[in-house]
Structure 1
Amino acid sequence: MMGQMGGAPQMPGMGAAVPQVQYYIGINGQQYGPCDWNKLQQLVQQGQFTQQSYVWKNGMAQWEFAGNVAELAPLFQGTAPQMLGMPPTMPGM
């Protein structure tokens, strides 16, 4: 099966404070990817990517439900991004 696996890798740093991780996801029995964080956010907003969707990234032993992957939790904590609140890196303030 010929795929589009070749070519230059994605340039990191295109978005500020966005994890540059590439995920593969399963939707309706189909595998999609690689998807970056922005694409995952779009799919969540469209209702296509949920906590019951399968997800995998390089380094994971097997496919896992997105709701079980801690680093994906911010995607499912509300439809609108929370701009106010405690900064995640400064718990002592």
Structure 2
Amino acid sequence: MATAGGGNAHMVFRRYLDAVGLQGLASAEAAGLHTSEWYALSLITLEGSLSSGELASRTGLTTGATTRLIDRLERAGYARRAADPHDRRRVI
């Protein structure tokens, strides 16, 4: 099978992306998490505290699905909800 354009550089980059994706899947599985939970946890770790709306926006999940995701992360001990120190109506 032939590929369109890009030659060797394209193939190297594609293999790299595949390896990164497989590593993410294996990491999530090893931690007992779904890939969306792993991704959300990565975002929280890199960005710091996020509201559920911000997390929904970043992950592309609905707000309802994000709430359930946060519930699962909290039950597993990976995340916790806290009141926003700047806005007591908001939870981060």
Q: Return the TM-score normalized by structure 1.
A: 0.35
Give the number of the structure whose alpha-carbon radius of gyration is greater. 2
Q: Return the TM-score normalized by structure 2.
A: 0.35
Say which structure is richer in strand. 1
